[in-house]
Structure 1
Amino acid sequence: MKKILTKKNLYLAGWIIASILFIYIILPVSVPLTVALISAIILEPAVGFLQNRFSLKRKSSVLIVFISFVVIFGAAGSFLTTRLIAESINIINNAPRYINDITTVWFDIQDRFINAAKELPDEVVLEISRRTDEFLATASNDLLAYLNINNIKVLLTNIPSYLISFLVYLIALFLFLLDLPRLRKSVYRHLHERTAEKVNFISSRLSYVLFGFIKAQFLVSLIIFAVSFMSLSFIVPKTAFFISVVIWAIDFIPVIGSIIILGPWALFHLLAGNLALGIKLAILAAVLLIIRRTVKPKLMGTQIGLSALSTLVTMYLGIKVLGLWGFLIGPMILIIFNTAKEAGLIKANFKI
Structure 2
Amino acid sequence: MNKLNTRKLIFRLIMIISIIVAAYFIIPVSVPIILAGATAFFLEPIVMFFKRQWKMSRKIAVAFIYIVSVILISIICYFTITQLMSQIILVSKQAPYYISKLSEMWLTMQENISKYTEDFPPEVSASLQNTTMDFIKKIEESFLNFFNYTKVTAFFSEIPSLFISLLVYMIALFLFMLDLPKLKQITYKYLKPSTANKLKIILNRLKDAIFGYMKAHLFVSFIIGGVTLIGLLLIQPKYAVTMTIIIWIIDIIPFLGSIIILAPWALYHLLIGNISIAVKLFILAAILLIIRRVVEPKLMGDHIGLSTLPTLIAMFIGLQLFGVIGLLAGPFVIIFFVALKETGIIKLNFKI
Contact 2:210 2:304 in 1 (8 A): yes
Q: Report deviation, 1:188.
A: 0.6
Q: Report deviation, 1:308.
A: 1.7
Please name the residue that 1:36 is paired with. 36
Moved more, 291-300 or 223-232: 223-232
- Letter in structure 1 aligned against 2:107: F
Please name the residue that 2:284 is paired with. 284
Contact 1:87 1:239 in 2 (8 A): no
Please name the residue that 2:217 is paired with. 217
Whole-angstrom distance in 1 between the partners of 2:268 and 2:155: 30
Whole-angstrom distance in 2 between the partners of 1:117 and 1:23: 62
Q: What CA deviation, in whole Å up to 9, does each residue of 1:161-181 have, x standing for no partner?
A: 111111111100000001111
Moved more, 33-42 or 135-144: 135-144
Q: What CA deviation, in whole Å up to 9, does each residue of 1:145-198 have, x standing for no partner?
A: 332333322222222211111111110000000111111111111111111101
Whole-angstrom distance in 2 between the partners of 1:15 and 1:338: 28
Please name the residue that 2:139 is paired with. 139
**1:95 and 2:99 matched:** no
Please name the residue that 1:169 is paired with. 169
Query: Structure 1 residues 75 and 266 mapped into 2: Cα distance closer, same or farther (>3 Å)?
Result: closer
Please name the residue that 1:186 is paired with. 186
Query: Structure 1 residues 33 and 71 mapped into 2: Cα distance closer, same or farther (>3 Å)?
Result: same
- TM-score, normalising length: structure 2: 0.88
The number of aligned residues is 351
Query: Structure 1 residues 199 and 222 mapped into 2: Cα distance closer, same or farther (>3 Å)?
Result: same
Whole-angstrom distance in 2 between the partners of 1:201 and 1:67: 30
Whole-angstrom distance in 2 between the partners of 1:345 and 1:11: 24
Identity rate of aligned residues, in percent?
A: 41
Q: What CA deviation, in whole Å up to 9, does each residue of 1:299-342 have, x standing for no partner?
A: 11211111222111111111221233111222221111011111
Whole-angstrom distance in 2 between the partners of 1:97 and 1:71: 39
Query: Structure 1 residues 98 and 19 mapped into 2: Cα distance closer, same or farther (>3 Å)?
Result: farther
Moved more, 217-226 or 37-46: 217-226
Contact 1:220 1:296 in 2 (8 A): yes
Whole-angstrom distance in 1 between the partners of 2:217 and 2:22: 27
Query: Structure 1 residues 206 and 32 mapped into 2: Cα distance closer, same or farther (>3 Å)?
Result: same
- Letter in structure 1 aligned against 2:228: S
Please name the residue that 1:117 is paired with. 117
Query: Structure 1 residues 139 and 163 mapped into 2: Cα distance closer, same or farther (>3 Å)?
Result: same
Q: What CA deviation, in whole Å up to 9, does each residue of 1:195-230 have, x standing for no partner?
A: 110101111111111122222222222322332233
Query: Structure 1 residues 347 and 102 mapped into 2: Cα distance closer, same or farther (>3 Å)?
Result: same
Moved more, 19-28 or 113-122: 19-28
- Letter in structure 1 aligned against 2:226: A
- Letter in structure 2 aligned against 1:54: W
Contact 1:258 1:288 in 2 (8 A): yes
Whole-angstrom distance in 2 between the partners of 1:190 and 1:342: 23
Whole-angstrom distance in 1 between the partners of 2:260 and 2:219: 21
- TM-score, normalising length: structure 1: 0.88
Please name the residue that 2:154 is paired with. 154
Matches within 5 A, 1:302-321: 302-321=302-321
Please name the residue that 1:296 is paired with. 296
- Letter in structure 1 aligned against 2:331: P
Q: Report deviation, 1:122.
A: 1.4
Q: Report deviation, 1:252.
A: 4.5
Give 5+ residue unaligned stretches, structure 2. none
Whole-angstrom distance in 2 between the partners of 1:95 and 1:162: 30
Give 5+ residue unaligned stretches, structure 1. none
Moved more, 105-114 or 28-37: 105-114
Contact 1:84 1:241 in 2 (8 A): no
Moved more, 126-135 or 182-191: 126-135
Contact 1:36 1:170 in 2 (8 A): yes
Contact 2:254 2:328 in 1 (8 A): no
Moved more, 24-33 or 234-243: 234-243
Please provide the CA RMSD for this pair. 2.9
Please name the residue that 1:48 is paired with. 48
SS in 1 for 2:344: coil
Whole-angstrom distance in 1 between the partners of 2:220 and 2:13: 41
